[in-house]
Each structure stands twice: as C-alpha cells, then as structure tokens.
Amino acid sequence: MPGQMGSVYSLEARNEFEQATRKAFWSRFLARLQGQQPPELLDFNEISQHLGLRTAVYRGVQTIPLNKIVGSVGRYKDFTGAFLPVNTDMRERWQRVAVLFLDPTSGGAPPIEVYKVGDAYFVKDGNHRVSVANQLNMGTIEAYVWEFPAPVAGVDPEADIDTLLLEAERKEFLERTQLDRLRPGHDIRLTAPGGYLDMLQQIAAYQAALSKIDGVPVPYEEAVTAWYDMIYETVVQFIKQEGILKLFPDRTPADFFVWTMQHQRELQERYGRRMAVREVARQVSDELRPGMLGRLWQAGRSLLRRILAH
C-alpha cells in the first residue's frame, strides 16, 4: 500500500509539472504575440546593487504570501514571473519537491530562505518549493526571513519594490544633476522604473556631444541645464501639444518624455535614420491603445534591466 500511494503522489506530481510547463509556455507565447515582454523574476543581485543594500536582519520563520515573492538570488532565469518552470531540465527535482507537498506522510517541505526588501521577497534558497507551492495554489509558504530595514531613506520600509526602485533612482538622479538647485521649478517625476537612469545616460551623451562641438570639455552642470532646456523642455512641449497627457492623467510629462526618446531610438535602429522628435511624439499619440499603460510600465522595467546590465 505505501508503495502504491507513493506512486499515486509521483503521478500527481508529474501531472502538476506538465501543467506548470504548459502554462509557462502559453503565458510567454501570448505575451510575445501581443508585443509585450513576458513577466520575469527580478535578479536580487541587480536590485541589491541598485538600492545599495548592505546588512540584512534575521526575522525568524514567518508565513509569507507567495504573490509577494518577486525574484531570486540566482535562479531568476529558470522560472517565469509567476515562478512557473520554463524548461524540462528541472523535472526530476521539481517532482520530488512536489511529492513532499502532496504526500501527507512525507513530513512536508522545509521552509525556504528569503530576503525581504520593502514588501517584496527574493528567494535565497527554495526556488523549486516556491514554484510547486504556486502551482498548487497554496497562497502562502513558510520561510526563514532576512530583512533589509529601510532600504531607501525616507521611504516607507514596507513600500513595494517598484516604489523603492523609483525613489532610489530619483535620489541618485537629483544628487548627480542637482536639478533642484539648477532648475528649481522642474517637473521631472516618474511613475515607471528605469527612466531616471536613462535620462542620466542622455545627459552624459549630450555632454560628450557638446564637448565635441565646442572642442573643449563642457562642465557637467552646463550639460545638465542645456539638456533640460533644449531637450527635455522641447520634447515635453511637443507631448503636451499632442494631447497625450489628457488621456492619461495618472502619468507625468517625464514618463512620456522617457518613452518618446526610447521610441525614437527604436525607430532609428529600425529605419536607419533619425526621426524628428515632433514626428515621434505624434506617432506615440496615434499608437495609444487600451492597455498601453501596462506596456509602458513593462517597457520601463525592461529598460531598467538593460541599464543595470551595463
């Protein structure tokens, strides 16, 4: 009888793995079919570097919600954003873990180990256990928790990871550019991640271009003010003229500035010529569809990943 029961649970584990891999395939396929980036797990090492995380405090064993686990220390490429397995190489291990959850005589699976950043968790050990628990719709899981207190100064320690990333970016942007001092009335405030770092890269490129034109090094502060006056303000004016902001009152001029400049680069790569910003802004206005804000947010996350990878 024990052997038969073990076979039953092994069969159930195999079926669960097949369902999980099918869901992973179709979720990624449909996302690409819709022109969207498939949701991915966050890389803790990149997030740690970006937020300047230092020392974590052990908080003991806790029951944590599975939907707050957003990334992994080292296995973030092995699963989808919903912790579905993306390849069959992990079949045997995944199924062995599943049996621990399914078989009531197994004693259960041990707690996973996680880092807590804001209200989000990153798996230090136990990625397969999280994947199985998600597939079985368990809702919560036991975990040894190490927490990074107050990861961004002045921000609610329980803020979501996107808020923490945005505020960390904003602080770095303002510290480096000194725009609060140079242009006290500036309206640069983003709601999607990645944009502040992208603007810093724009300023650096603009400084290099100005120095090449003038034949002498241009001071960074001068490049910042020139970029703001000549590039940022001009593009935002075009965006306002196209009426985009009226359609999306929850987004800011800076959001659409970043997206417009990114779109301009993509069009230049596609057609091999630089398109005028006014033309790009008009095209952005024409292409707006329901669901565009979700694509904008995903584009921001994708932009952040590319910036952090360099």
Pairwise CA distance, residues 252 & 144, whole Å: 39
Long-range contacts (CB closer than 8 Å, 24 or more residues apart) made by 246-250: 247/288, 248/293, 250/191, 250/293
| Residue 193: strand, helix, or coil | coil
Is the pLDDT reported for residue 300 higher than 70? no
Q: What strand order describes the sheet that includes 140-148?
A: 42-43, 69-72, 120-125, 112-117, 140-148, 57-65
Residue 247 pLDDT grade (very low, low, confident, very high; cuts 50, 70, 90): confident
Residue 289 pLDDT grade (very low, low, confident, very high; cuts 50, 70, 90): very low
User: Residue 38's pLDDT is what?
Assistant: 78
Residue that has been written with the tokens 């944590």 in this structure: 64
Pairwise CA distance, residues 226 & 243, whole Å: 25
Q: Using one digit for the tens of pLDDT, what is the confidence trace for 106-135?
A: 888 999 999 999 999 999 999 999 999 999
User: Residue 66's pLDDT is what?
Assistant: 96
User: Residue 153's pLDDT is what?
Assistant: 79
Average of per-residue pLDDT across 42-63: 92
Pairwise CA distance, residues 308 & 297, whole Å: 17
Q: Residues 6 or more apart from 226 whose CB is under 8 A from it? A: 206, 210, 218
Pairwise CA distance, residues 293 & 287, whole Å: 12
User: Residue 48's pLDDT is what?
Assistant: 92
DSSP state of 154: T
The CATH class for the domain spanning 2-148 reads: alpha beta
Taking alpha carbons only, the member of 172, 169, 155 closest to residue 117 is 155
Pairwise CA distance, residues 129 & 292, whole Å: 34
Poorest-pLDDT segment among 80-84, 254-258, 268-272: 268-272
User: Residue ranges of the domains in the chain?
Assistant: 2-148, 161-309
User: Residue 174's pLDDT is what?
Assistant: 95
Is the pLDDT reported for residue 5 higher than 80? no
Which regions of the chain does DSSP assign to beta strands (E)?
Answer: 42-43, 57-65, 69-72, 112-117, 120-125, 140-148
Pairwise CA distance, residues 122 & 120, whole Å: 7
Pairwise CA distance, residues 85 & 82, whole Å: 9
